[in-house]
Structure 1
Amino acid sequence: MKDAFSGYHPVVNFLYFVQVILFAMVFMHPVCLAISMIFAIAYSINLSGRKAIGFQLFYMLPMLLITAIINPAFNHEGVTVLTYLHSGNPLTLESIAYGIAAAAMFVTVISWFACYNAVMTSDKFIYLFGTVIPVLSLFFSMVLRFVPKFKAQLAVVSHAQKCIGRDMSSGGVFARIKHGIRILSIMVTWMLENAIETADSMKSRGYGLKGRTAFSLFKFDRRDRIAAIGMATIGMYIITGALAKGLYFRYFPSMRGVDLSVFSLSLFLAYAVLCAAPLMINSWEDRKWKLSQSDI
């Protein structure tokens, strides 16, 4: 499925992800965590389809459960004691709740970063920061491209080694270790050569020189202006509400949060609208496309 939000200006994309990722790391209110996690996973699935579903089920769900279980085993704070462990330490309701919240926050942030990597391509990042911090922007661009390129090259090298009987599945234990070290050595050499080639290529093109201009197809139009103003306004309202304790929630020594009111409910609604913005934009663009087709 084509993602309409990815077609917006890089400023809009970057502004959105800066807000949702920071808010996901800061706001520990259960309602905020639930909102952010639901829409992060939904948008990830919208971007990557079955691949994202598999990633959430086989990686994120076990990580969520493991993180939620580990915290109560080491954190014994809280006043609501449910039982006592064999070590004599108490198992508290607050430590369990905080473990679940921390696990949800961790999974949510990873999901948002997965969406960020799919939407904020390297050319968008260089467009935004290439003139301000050219070296750092090139470095981040290379890092963002590194993981998929590394996986693809590792598959090529592993397949080539397997053809000559030198992969990780051939021979005894020591032979497999030797083959693994050889593959690792090949990959390290490839990484260094690739980094040098990229740096030399960008240097030969005058990247980072003063006064250098770069070709770009990005244009900040009326649609982008409306989206940027809307996201910035909602973000400022959420920040203002958080500073006014409208999203306050604590886990220790006892769980306590802000009382539900029109103000707190409006903050939750604003946060939901912000997190759901890409999905709402995709739905709106899809509806416009269907209406235009029906008029033909």
Structure 2
Amino acid sequence: MKDVFSSYHPLVNFLYFVMVVGCSMFFLHPACLLISLFFSFAYSIYLNGKRAIRFNFLVMLPMLIVTALINPAFNHEGVTILTYLDNGNPLTLESITFGAASATMLITVISWFSCYNAVMTSDKFIYLFGKLIPALSLIFSMVLRFVPTFKEQFQRVSDAQKCIGRDISNGSVISRVRHGIRIMSIMITWVLENAIETSDSMRSRGYGLKGRTAYSNYTFDRRDQWALGALIIVGGYVLISSLRGALYFRYYPSMKGHETSIFMISSLCCYALMCAIPLIMNVWEDRKWKLLQSKI
């Protein structure tokens, strides 16, 4: 399925992910966490389909449960004591809720970064920061594409080794270990050679030199202006609301947040709107396309 938001200017894409990832990391209000979790899961599923569904529900949710259980096992702060553990330490409601909030924040950020990797390609990042920080932007773009490229190359090497009987599934335990070490040795060599080749290739093209020009097919049109304006307005309102304490919530020593008011509700609505912007764009474009098809 084509993602309309990916076709917007890289500045719009990057600003959006900076805003949602930053808010997901610093807003620990339960409502903010649930909003961000829902839309990060929804957008990742829209981008990656069934693969994202399997990953979110078979990996991320179990990770949330395990991480949430770790905090009350080691953290015993809080005034609402539910019971006492066998070692005499109290089990508090605050430690349980803070563990759940921390776990939700963790998997939400991971989910947003999976969306970031699908939308913000390496050429978009280099387009934005290639002139400002050429070396760092090149390294960062290489790091972002390292994991998927490494997985693909690892699969190729494993398939090649399997054809000559040197796969990690063949032979005794010692033989499998040897085969695994051989595959990893090949992969390390490939990684080092690939990094050197990339560096030499970019240097030969004059990357990072003063006055260097680069081809780019990105244009900041009226559509991008509207999207950037919407992000600034909605994000600015969310930021002001946070500074005014509308999204404040504490877990220790007792749970307490901003009293329910129209200001707080409007802040949560703006935050939900900010997180939902890519999905809104996609739904709107899908409806326009279906309407055009119905007129044919």
Name the TM tier (shorter chain): over 0.9
- For 2:169 and 2:294, how far apart are their aligned partners in 1? 57
- For 2:294 and 2:217, how far apart are their aligned partners in 1? 30
Match of 2:122 in 1: 122
Match of 1:136 in 2: 136
- For 1:153 and 1:43, how far apart are their aligned partners in 2? 28
- For 1:290 and 1:172, how far apart are their aligned partners in 2? 58
Q: After superposition, what is the alpha-carbon deviation per residue over 1:47-90, rounded to whole angstroms, capped at 9, x for unaligned?
A: 00001001101210111111011111011111111111111111
- For 1:292 and 1:210, how far apart are their aligned partners in 2? 48
Q: After superposition, what is the alpha-carbon deviation per residue over 1:122-176, rounded to whole angstroms, capped at 9, x for unaligned?
A: 1100110111111111111111111111000101111111222222122222222
- For 2:99 and 2:14, how far apart are their aligned partners in 1? 30
Deviates more, 1:19-28 or 1:55-64: 55-64
Gaps of at least 5 residues in structure 1 are: none
Letter in 1 for 2:99: G
Match of 2:88 in 1: 88
SS at match of 2:82: strand
RMSD (Å) for aligned C-alpha atoms:
0.9
Match of 1:40 in 2: 40
Pair 1:188-2:188 in alignment: yes
SS at match of 1:83: strand
Match of 2:277 in 1: 277
Letter in 2 for 1:27: F
Letter in 1 for 2:166: R
TM-score, length-scaled by structure 1? 0.98
Match of 1:199 in 2: 199
SS at match of 1:51: helix
SS at match of 1:91: strand
- Report matched runs for 1:171-186 at 5 Å: 171-186=171-186
Residues paired across the two proteins, number: 296
Gaps of at least 5 residues in structure 2 are: none
Identity of aligned residues (%): 65
Match of 1:63 in 2: 63
Shift of 1:295: 2.8
TM-score, length-scaled by structure 2? 0.98
Shift of 1:292: 2.1
Shift of 1:232: 1.1
- For 1:220 and 1:275, how far apart are their aligned partners in 2? 22
SS at match of 1:247: coil
- Report matched runs for 1:1-296 at 5 Å: 1-296=1-296
